């Protein structure tokens, strides 16, 4: 099956903004866009059949309206509609197993409804084996679309631990596709020695940190020679560092890390901060299992 981009729609302004972001990305990548409405089935009751019929009709109407809007604004884009009744959020990942990206709406910090803090998005971010992009709304409460800000660069949080090659590759590729600069930040606060006499001053010096960051980026600079890279060291925590560089960016890329076990989704402090505090779209990239 040919790869595609999958966007989840729930009728919220956030999910519509996600659909527009996904449509533009599908055009960049020459891929089809799957408009998917995941419908979590409630426990069966005596009136469930009637409710299911009503929900099915509402779901089809939602996708029909979204498809019409996408057709008008993105002519030539291949669109696929899918209503997916399911008993768990895992159905989204199964439906998107051949997708290059999964795109969902994000409501950010302090909200309890919609995809971001609902079970579907948290599950997707924590368990997907492919990138998940979360997009804030660009529609005002009145319904007026907010004018797009001048294009900024792509920002990426750089970890020097193994398993983050996917994150750097995604970030460099995103910058190349947008003809944008890449701002690569590495936070050094965690590497400061607690007991100074156990570490030589050179081990945590700015020059050593700078060399380590440059070395981590070197293979990707060679792979993407046309991407202009700005390297930045931050003395903040990694979570704070990525939130800071997201200001003015058009996309923030962070790694999720290898957190997949346990009863509740775990995405790591950096991805968690990015999702909740970044205004720009956030791409959460899964840990590379090869490392």
Q: How confident is the model at residue 101 (pLDDT cuts 50, 70, 90)?
A: very high
Mean pLDDT over all residues of the chain? Answer: 81
pLDDT in tens, 38-95: 876 665 555 555 566 777 788 888 899 999 999 999 999 999 999 887 767 788 888 8
Mean pLDDT on 186-194: 64
Output the pLDDT for position 196.
40
Q: How confident is the model at residue 289 (pLDDT cuts 50, 70, 90)?
A: low
- Report, as an integer, the average pLDDT of 19-34: 95
pLDDT of residue 109: 40
Mean pLDDT of 163-188: 94
User: Which one has a higher pLDDT value, 165 or 265?
Assistant: 165
For strand 4-8 and strand 99-106, is the pairing parallel, antiparallel, or unpaired? parallel
Sign of CA dihedral 38, 277, 184, 213: negative
| pLDDT greater than 50 at residue 113 | no
Q: For the residues 224-236, what does the mean pLDDT come to?
A: 94
- pTM listed for this prediction: 0.85
pLDDT at residue 11, as a whole number: 84
**Bridge-partner residues for 159, per DSSP?**
none
Lowest mean pLDDT among 138-142, 272-276, 281-285: 138-142
């Amino acid at each position: 099956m040919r790869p595609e981009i999958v966007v989840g729609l729930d009728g919220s302004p956030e999910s519509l903004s996600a659909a527009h972001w996904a449509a533009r990305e599908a055009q960049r990548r020459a891929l089809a866009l799957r408009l998917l409405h995941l419908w979590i089935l409630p426990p069966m009751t005596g009136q469930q059949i009637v409710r299911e019929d009503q929900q099915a009709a509402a779901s089809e109407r939602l996708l029909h309206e979204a498809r019409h809007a996408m057709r008008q604004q993105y002519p030539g884009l291949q669109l696929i509609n899918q209503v997916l009744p399911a008993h768990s959020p895992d159905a989204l990942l199964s439906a998107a197993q051949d997708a290059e990206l999964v795109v969902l709406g994000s409501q950010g910090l302090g909200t309890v409804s919609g995809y971001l803090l609902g079970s579907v998005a948290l599950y997707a971010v924590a368990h997907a084996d492919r990138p998940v992009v979360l997009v804030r709304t660009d529609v005002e409460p009145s319904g007026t679309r907010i004018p797009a800000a001048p294009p900024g660069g792509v920002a990426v949080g750089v970890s020097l631990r193994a398993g983050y090659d996917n994150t750097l590759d995604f970030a460099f590729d995103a910058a190349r596709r947008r003809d944008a600069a890449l701002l690569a930040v590495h936070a050094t606060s965690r590497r400061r020695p607690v007991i100074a006499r156990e570490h030589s001053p050179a081990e945590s010096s700015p020059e050593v940190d700078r060399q380590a960051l440059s070395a981590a980026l070197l293979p990707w600079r060679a792979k993407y020679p046309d991407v202009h890279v700005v390297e930045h060291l931050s003395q903040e925590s990694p979570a704070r560092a990525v939130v800071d560089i997201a200001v003015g960016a058009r996309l923030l890329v962070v790694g999720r890390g290898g957190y997949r076990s346990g009863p509740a989704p775990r995405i790591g402090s950096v991805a968690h901060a990015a999702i909740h505090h970044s205004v720009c779209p956030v791409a959460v990239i899964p840990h590379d299992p090869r490392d």
